[in-house]
């Protein structure tokens, strides 16, 4: 082993010996990370194996090596394939070997994937209190760099230091994996970085046009005509409340007119006002069988809005075919009587979302 690697290991051994913590796996080790940690993290391990007689050999090295092999085999089995690249996220338990153990995993991963001649991209993490080391290892430096850039954007103001070297991207991230967001963000970063560059004029796989989105939304609804909507509002025999909801912006209501008695809830706050689980819901939105009839000017936005309420569990929600324009064309009155159980409302006032 080279003198630089030996001195690097001696420095880590000295550091561990002065710590009150032991080197048992799973124990949280509180320690600071000098700037040299990042450089050491992205350095590759030497190809030649360490001699058993080397004075810097740690008694736990064989155990770490075996654990690293097991972690790699499990990670490869669970890996996803994105555009021909094997991707995954490995989170290890904190222990005293720290960044050295991540490098050991990276070396085993390289030796495992190299014979297969497959493209791969893995993010290796070791969450600790404070700053946590993260190592991105890949079959190409370009993939590692892309993943690093995505990580920087996802963990904004939390990446303390980072460096790209030898096809590896290493960094220290503050308070890693303290929330469910972090693990999801790590997976999202590795998936997005592995995607092949695409023609900006070609729709990405899995995307849908607005026409397709609209068709899918309407397939979920039992849409009704303006006349049917008017009759439902006048029917006092139904066991549930019925509300007519105008989601048009104020400018459209001023230009084309409105229906007095309809509940005005502009589109940007609709879900917050009709989610029974939300603290900012309307008083009437306290049950999931509420009949919500939504309309906009021509019934395009209203279909998407009604489908969104279905996602909240408001399965009685629907929209009015043709919107306000069809209501006017049908000669229906400009004023309706809202359901007897609906709360009084200022018909032309939209309540903004409150800050939580």
> In angstroms, rounded to a whole number, what is the distance separating the alpha carbons of residues 264 and 350?
6
pLDDT of 311 above 80: yes
Question: Across residues 212-224, what is the average pLDDT?
Answer: 97
Spatial CA neighbour of 249 closest among 315, 317, 301: 301
pLDDT of 343 above 80: no
pLDDT band at 269 (very low <50, low <70, confident <90, very high): very high
DSSP per-residue string spanning 296-316: -SSSSHHHHHHHHHHHTT-TT
Tens digits of residue pLDDT in 61-102: 788 788 888 999 999 999 999 999 999 999 887 666 667 888
**Cα atoms in the 13 Å half-sphere on the side-chain side of 244:** 30
Residues 6+ apart with CB under 8 A from 349: 264
Is the pLDDT higher at 133 or at 166? 133
Residue 66, SS3? helix
Spatial CA neighbour of 101 closest among 33, 9, 187, 163: 9
Q: What angle do CA 280, 282, 287 make, to 5 degrees?
A: 105
What is the layout of strands, in order, in the sheet containing 85-91?
A: 80-82, 85-91, 119-125, 131-138, 168-174, 159-165
- Cα-flanking dihedrals φ and ψ of residue 234, to 5°? -90, -10
Tens digits of residue pLDDT in 110-162: 988 888 888 999 999 988 888 999 999 999 889 999 999 999 999 999 998 88
Provide the pLDDT for residue 94.
66
Tens digits of residue pLDDT in 50-63: 444 444 556 667 88
pLDDT band at 349 (very low <50, low <70, confident <90, very high): very low
Provide the pLDDT for residue 92.
86
> In angstroms, rounded to a whole number, what is the distance separating the alpha carbons of residues 163 and 141?
12
Q: What domains can be seen in the chain, in order of their start residue?
A: 3-46+60-194 (no CATH), 210-329 (3.40.250.10)
């Amino acid at each position: 082993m080279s003198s630089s690697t030996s001195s690097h290991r001696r420095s880590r051994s000295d550091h561990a010996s002065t710590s009150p913590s032991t080197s048992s796996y799973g124990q949280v080790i509180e320690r600071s990370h000098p700037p040299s940690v990042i450089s050491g993290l992205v350095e590759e391990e030497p190809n030649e194996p360490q001699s058993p007689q080397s004075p810097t050999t740690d008694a736990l090295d064989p155990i770490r090596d075996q654990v690293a092999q097991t972690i790699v085999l499990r990670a490869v089995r669970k890996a996803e394939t994105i555009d021909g690249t094997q991707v995954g996220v490995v989170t290890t338990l904190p222990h005293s070997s720290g960044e050295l153990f991540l490098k050991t995993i990276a070396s085993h991963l390289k030796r495992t994937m190299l014979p297969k001649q497959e493209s791969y991209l893995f993010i290796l993490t070791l969450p600790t209190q404070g700053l946590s080391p993260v190592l991105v290892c890949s079959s190409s430096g370009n993939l590692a760099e892309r993943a690093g850039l995505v990580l920087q954007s996802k963990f904004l103001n939390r990446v303390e230091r980072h460096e790209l070297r030898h096809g590896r991207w290493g960094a220290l991230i503050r308070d890693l994996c303290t929330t469910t967001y972090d693990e999801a963000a790590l997976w999202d970063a590795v998936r997005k970085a592995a995607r092949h560059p695409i023609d900006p004029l070609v729709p990405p796989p899995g995307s849908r046009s607005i026409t397709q989105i609209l068709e899918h939304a309407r397939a979920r609804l039992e849409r009704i005509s303006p006349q049917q909507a008017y009759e439902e509002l006048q029917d006092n025999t139904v066991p549930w409340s019925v509300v007519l909801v105008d989601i048009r912006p104020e400018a459209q209501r001023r230009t084309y007119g409105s229906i007095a008695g309809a509940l005005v809830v502009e589109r940007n706050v609709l879900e917050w006002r009709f989610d029974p689980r939300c603290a900012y819901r309307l008083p009437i939105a306290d049950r999931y069988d509420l009949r919500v009839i939504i309309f906009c000017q021509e019934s395009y936005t209203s279909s998407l809005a009604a489908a969104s309420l279905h996602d909240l569990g408001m399965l009685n929600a629907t929209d009015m075919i043709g919107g306000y324009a069809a209501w006017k064309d049908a000669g229906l009155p400009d004023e309706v009587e809202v359901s007897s159980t609906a709360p009084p409302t200022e018909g032309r006032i939209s309540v903004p979302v409150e800050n939580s």
